Amino acid sequence: MTSAATADVPVAQARGLSKRYGGFVAVDAIDFEVRPGEVLGMLGPNGAGKSTTMRMMYQVTPPSSGELTLFGMRSGRDARRIKARLGVVPQIDNLDEDLSVRDNLRIHARYHGLGPTEAAERSDALLAFVGLEAKARQQVRSLSGGMKRRLTLARGLVSDPDLVILDEPTTGLDPQVRLALWDKLEALRTAGATLMLSTHYMDEAERLCDRLLIMDAGRVVAAGTPRGLIAERLDPYVIEGRLKGGDDGPYRRLADAVGATAQRSGDRLSVFVPDGRAALERLLGDGVDPDRAFVRPSNLEDLFLALTGRELRE
């Protein structure tokens, strides 16, 4: 990756950034920055504003208000120059299925101003990077979904971008393909790339991201490192009880004792506690079946649900 940015100058910065569609506010006056060489993750339920924010970043959707700058240039006014320095991996693969795998990359490279020789060399290097050399001459329509996703990643890198934006890069992929893509993103990170990605996978966010923005209803409700946010907002342990029609009284009494809230979802009840062992001993002394209660560390999914709620979103 090439980058003209220095360590103390953000690659991208938003201040009061908003997007409205009539009376609907999709993004509501958010502030954030993307720092050189980091992986910034965006989490949020459906409709939180993640994809709209990313579309504003890669100059497809104009902001309604606020300021957005990338590489020191203003969004909209310098859109052409900004796009030249971005790599984009959209949610849905929009490859040309009638072309070969290699030609999809070569044509995209030519679009970005690379000469024929350089375009061919870079395309072949990226096919090797994503493990598709053997498929170079095949039409895209013959590829599996996971292969198409890897090709879309390669296409997003063809211009050697200063910032790569990935909108839910592994959604719908099987675990093996997800792990393969994680390895490629880790390699980019190690090489010093600056990445911004949205995801619904908590393990993906915790594994890949240096910092997180958690969004809900168009607003940023939390920002920080994955472990830092968990430590800041949750007790370190969770007692989980599987009631199966049993009495939840011991858990309610435990919650009252530690000043916590017992959160119930179906037959499962959770209590966040500062001392997992002591809390479990208290429950067992209160008659809880030891096979129906266990202790685990608080995690990013707990934080996400605490901030955005447990109700289903369409």
**pLDDT for 137-171, tens place per residue?**
999 999 999 999 999 999 999 999 999 999 999 98
Whether 192 and 251 share a structural domain: no
**pLDDT < 50 stretches in the chain:** 2-5
The candidate with the shortest Cα–Cα distance to 194, out of 51, 27, 33, 80, is: 33
Sign of CA dihedral 120, 97, 144, 179: positive
Helix (H) / strand (E) element for 278: namely helix 276-285
Structural domain boundaries enclosing 122: 12-225
54 and 196 in one domain? yes
312 inside domain: no
Q: Is residue 182 part of a domain?
A: yes
Rounded CA separation 291/132 (Å): 48
Whether 202 and 240 map to the same domain: the answer is no
Q: What is the pLDDT of residues 33-90, one digit of tens each?
A: 999 999 999 999 989 999 999 999 999 999 999 999 999 999 999 999 999 999 999 9
The 10 Å Cβ neighbour count of residue 100 is 16
Per-residue tokens: 19 = 């997007």
Q: Which residues contact 24 (CB under 8 A, 6 or more apart)?
A: none
How many C-beta neighbours within 10 Å does residue 183 have? 11
Residue-level pLDDT at 3: 44
- Classify residue 75: in a domain, yes or no: yes
Contact between 82 and 75 under an 8 Å Cβ cutoff? The reply is yes
Give how many domains the chain has, as a whole number.
2
- In our burial notation (b when 16+ CB lie closer than 10 A, e otherwise), range 107-142 reads ebbbebebeeeebbebbeebbebbebeebeeeebee
Q: Is residue 277 part of a domain?
A: yes
112, 126 in Cβ contact below 8 A?
no
Residues 202 and 274 in one domain: no
Domain-located, residue 269: yes
What is the C-alpha to C-alpha distance for residues 156 and 159, in angstroms, rounded to an integer? 7
